[in-house]
Amino acid sequence: MACKETKKTGKDSQKKVAITQKEIHKELYGFWVGNFVASEDYEYQDDTYAAVKKLNINIKKITKDTVIAQSIVSGNSRPLLGKISENGGKITFILDEPGTDQYDGKFEITLIGDALIGEWNAYKTALKWPKKEFKLVKKAFVYNANLMLPTEADYIDWTDHKMVESLDTLEDGTIDSLGANTFYRSASEGIFKINASNMLLKEEDVKNLRKLDLQIIKNTIFARHGYAFKKQTLRNFFDPVEWYVPVKNNVDNDLTPIENKNVKLLDRFTKYAEDNYDTFGR
């Protein structure tokens, strides 16, 4: 009997198709923003306090086995990968930064009410502040050209100072030194009056401003677009601001025509402006 040759069909000839996992808890997607502070055990090291920073965790995708997110703090944007756990209605996350940066670490997060609460532990325990805590609330980022800095805050650059010697003239006419005092540069009321996002500035608007004024007015443009500041001075100014959400490391393509023109004007005047070191002590 002749055997008929049969063609292979069915499963043997089919490629396996990866099953895409269903996304869950989409209501948690988005920006979660709040203070990023050193835990009490590490709050004070080497005669310095840990600065309070603003942390933004952007949750992008959640499935049963995987969580994809992003951390943004101090101008540093890092991808996060981890897992979600649910136990008795309690939701927790373990999210890892890649480990390729000296400041990378692990986030352990619990959803409590409408906040994400937890701690971050650095992979390198030799860091000055290897453990930090946070409480984040969900916050939408929307560009708004009318946003201004709060007037109740003092805008003083504590990272830049100069020493000024105090002198005293004695009865005999000789001059005696009373020692040197530390003075810091500070901003004027001009930063609350000028909005470089919704008005085209003229030279007369900025020519009498202090150098720090010009820098703050310019960077308020970037803050409105969610720029994540790396410079400590600027983080000190903008991180405490309620409306500020650090979102990205480059906003050049987001600036409006008015803002682009104003940035060029502010840069030109900043180059020749002087600082006022008129704030004593701290």
Rounded percentage of the chain residues whose pLDDT exceeds 70 = 83
Arithmetic mean of pLDDT over the chain: 88
Q: Which helix (H) or strand (E) holds 259?
A: helix 257-270
What number is the average pLDDT over the span 221-232? 97
DSSP of 82-150: EEEEEETTEEEEEEE--S-STT-EEEEEEEETTEEEEEEEES-TTSSS-EEEEEEEE------TT----
pLDDT for 8 equals 52
Residue 222 identity (one-letter amino acid):
F
Domains of the chain plus CATH, in order, are 26-138 (2.40.128.120), 156-280 (no CATH)
pLDDT for 282 equals 47
Residue 202 has pLDDT above 70, yes or no: yes
Q: Which helix (H) or strand (E) holds 203?
A: helix 203-206
What number is the average pLDDT over the span 96-111? 97
pLDDT for 181 equals 79
Residue 206 has pLDDT above 60, yes or no: yes
Between 20 and 108, residue with greater pLDDT: 108
Please provide the size of the chain in residues.
282
Q: Which of helix, strand or coil describes residue 46?
A: coil
52: confidence class by pLDDT, cuts 50, 70, 90? confident
Which tens digit of pLDDT belongs to each residue from 120-147? 999 999 998 899 999 999 999 999 999 9
What count of other Cβ atoms lies within 10 Å of the Cβ of residue 188? 16
Is the four-CA dihedral 34, 39, 42, 47 of positive or negative sign? positive
Residue of 276, 47, 48 whose CA lies nearest to 162: 276
Q: Model pTM?
A: 0.84
Which tens digit of pLDDT belongs to each residue from 27-48? 999 999 999 999 775 545 544 5
Residue 167 has pLDDT above 90, yes or no: no
Rounded Cα distance, 215 and 234, in Å: 9
Rounded Cα distance, 247 and 70, in Å: 10
Residue 176 has pLDDT above 70, yes or no: no
